[in-house]
Structure 1
């Protein structure tokens, strides 16, 4: 197997702001749910054949540590189970994070030059041009990071380029926003002193700070401290779906002022006006959120953050192979080709470049 360059008839490349594929692969290892990433599967959202089919060119691959790493992951995720939000220790979190980082490098090694773990935007651009799947490492919830930031330095050295201080649970750095509906993101206090130091450390290392899952007070703390563009990798519009995970107009305006970015989350409960878990959510609901974001943030401030392998997607975009259906929905809504290409991948590359340089 060798890398191939995109053809003229290939789908528009998509660089995606968030997926949980590394977690999915690590927890399935050694079980009957394990799949070969290089073979087309009928479960999950992302493997190499479906990525190629749908134009999924790469993205931020999350390293998320569940509260109970020994839980039965074959059962449906229950967002109302308090056990999913129990705080986790740093040593355990770091060990599990290393498993996911190792999985990324294992995939790269086994891919015969079809996958690359990228440390720079130049490398990502090269991968897109050559048809190589680009992995950029991201931490979702900084439990693996110690307050002396030794782990942050080492993980940065192996390719960490994006970090969310919290998932939807509290840790030593900040307070996560619960996935409640209907609810405001203004839940709980902001960053701790350690969290404020983490922002400074990420700025020094040029690691993107992801605001998704952070509560509103934490959001404003980051906005007041960070010298980088404000980015929410996989969040939607609170005015259209009043889930606490979504962003208010005031937050969107702050992101726009910083020349930052929001990636559309494909999770149906963050898209639908009624907040329901229903796969038959029309793709037009996704377009509605994107149109709102474009109006609020401008054409350079909107991208995609699917949450593949970590959410319930609309049936029309049931996995990475179906991404062209979303692109066609953008066209049907009157989005021009230049805007579609920005949303698909150019805006992500731009904000990563401006953060890292």
Structure 2
């Protein structure tokens, strides 16, 4: 029985139509291609939604689906693309075809309770036990991310990247030189490791350069804001420390002055006089306020009571 590469509409129409056509002359591939193309044309006329689902290795289905306008990175309800499903089932040829058609190896599935940050196709392949496919997808993801960056490399950075790649490749080759029997696969593995190491080193160098430029920009903005040169900064520091020394010496002299019994006695007498003076001032302010109220009372008695026939301000609204 054929495994369906895509799910269209309710998911049952295409399978029933495939069964109705039968297998002419046992040519399963020709039947698949013919029925799939006719069904896709019919669905495109009705503007149906296509959802890439499980990549079961049917490479003949890929080109007709892409020709009908389906995005290679289209996600299903769980955020899985066709590349995720191909990595899940270990379909190496389908993965290579999807990567060649422009599928994103760094695409992440939708987060859930088990995976709060989602999974890439490489992590899905590792979880399913396809380690070789996971290494290939990881290499493609790193190199594609490197190609998306705009780098300005110098000779020093290039030599640093080459050195890092050589160190990594040598360490891996020493570990697997005696254990590996297939020299061709070992050579391909070392080449992949070298590419990934170079890409990772270039990405790290790019982020370091970006942070260095941001730090220099902040320093330039601070200098333009009025901090000035080193001599100006030193003068400001001297002024600040001089003021602090003056404050400390003044506090020390005050403590020495009032440390003995005679100084403390004079200080208590002075404080008593100050408290009395403050009491006199506050009493004067209260009496002055009372005089204002009394003046208003006289005005009430003399003018307003006469004007309002003895009522004054009582009951006035």
TM-score interval for Structure 1 and Structure 2 normalised by the shorter chain = under 0.3
Largest Rg, 1 or 2 = 2
Larger strand fraction of residues: 1
Please report the TM-score for the alignment, with normalisation by the length of structure 1.
0.24
Larger helix fraction of residues: 2
Please report the TM-score for the alignment, with normalisation by the length of structure 2.
0.26
**Structure having greater relative contact order (Cα 8 Å, sep ≥ 6):** 1
